Amino acid sequence: MGMRDLSAFLPLLACPFCCEPFVQEQQVLRCTNRHSFDIAREGYVNLVRKQLPGDTKEMLLARRAVFEQGLYQPLSDALNTLLLARLSALPVVRYFDAGCGEGYYQSRLYEALLAGETAAISMGCDISREGIRLAARRYPASFFQVANIKERLPLADQGLDLLLNIFAPRNTPEFARVLATGALLVIVIPGPLHIQQLRSVLHLLTIEEQKEQHVIEQFTEECKFTLLASESVTYDLTLDEEALTRVVMMTPNYWHLTAEQRMQMTTLSTLTTTFDFRCLVFQRRIAA
């Protein structure tokens, strides 16, 4: 595989150690203080200060299979509809998916933008190296990084027009720092009814009470964001045993499954369950 040209992405990046800009030297990103990071064969870069465990390959492959089956496409379609009208006036949309996993939502937005003749510079990060490797292999038009959302993001100040945060940890000061004034922040969280029937049968983790209100307060009070829209996406699907197992495996429930729960999953032949999401669209206010 030849050298990947990252020149379109470099103005949006910053060294995670010293916050200085990068230059590309062959298959290496190097900042002005000579911190260097190899560009992997798949085209991504590992920019974490300390490698931490993320979603496992088993979880990520289950998630990709669920996406390929179309189970989360109504959510992706709703997100794209929410965003396209708000972004179409921009000559180029510079966006970043914080917690992108294997890249599904980011890539479908990229396709929708291009279909609407809007140019895009698409980037994403995840703490899971396996997730980033999968994303980089399948979606080569985007630039992916292994990075920790809970730390300083390896991004320049106020460089983004849009930041996506879908079922991922949130870092309010960092999200505010990297977004330009007037830029959009989209946060997606599970709604209170999400896989309710499946959670009830298997005694899975519960959804945090008042989660939507807590997120709204977190961003409107602490980081100078304005809430533009709050949209619910809710639909029912009947799933077979294989799909039910994958839906459980792709969520944090995977880390907490008991032997009894794993056995119980094998006894479910079909189940109709609700998919329920809240899509929150914020706008970055003028910095104080």
Q: Is residue 4 part of a domain?
A: no
> How many domains does the chain divide into?
1
The CATH number given to whatever domain includes residue 177 is 3.40.50.150
Q: What's the rounded mean pLDDT across residues 202-224?
A: 84
Mean per-residue pLDDT, 10-22: 95
Structural domain that includes position 264: 10-284
Q: For residues 93-104, give the mean pLDDT.
A: 96
Q: Which residues contact 69 (CB under 8 A, 6 or more apart)?
A: 243
2 inside domain: no
**Cα 175 from Cα 168, distance rounded (Å):** 13
Give the pLDDT confidence score for residue 68 in this predicted structure.
96
Q: What is the pLDDT of residues 170-184, one digit of tens each?
A: 999 999 999 999 999
Q: What is the percent of the chain where pLDDT is above 70?
A: 98
Asked if residue 32 is part of any domain, the answer here is yes
53, pLDDT greater than 90 = no
The predicted pLDDT at position 144 comes to 97
pLDDT at 223: 63
Backbone angles phi, psi at 112, to 5 degrees: -65, -40
Query: Is the per-residue pLDDT at 140 higher than 90?
Result: yes
Q: Look at residue 99 in the predicted model and tell me its pLDDT.
A: 96
Going by pLDDT thresholds of 50, 70 and 90, the confidence category of residue 255 is confident
In a domain, 260, yes or no: yes
Query: Is 101 inside any structural domain?
Result: yes
Tens-place pLDDT, residues 34-46 = 999 999 999 999 9
For residues 90 and 93, give the distance between their C-alpha atoms in angstroms, rounded to a whole number. Answer: 6
- Residue 127 domain flag: yes
The pLDDT tens digits for 109-122 are 999 999 999 999 99
Residue 93 forms part of a structural domain: yes
For 214-235, write each residue's pLDDT tens digit. 999 989 886 689 999 999 999 9
Chain center to CA of 10: 20
Tokens of residue 37, six digits: 């990071």
Residue with tokens 């088993």: 58
Max Cα–Cα distance, the chain, nearest Å: 58
Residue 5 located in a structural domain: no
pLDDT at 2: 63
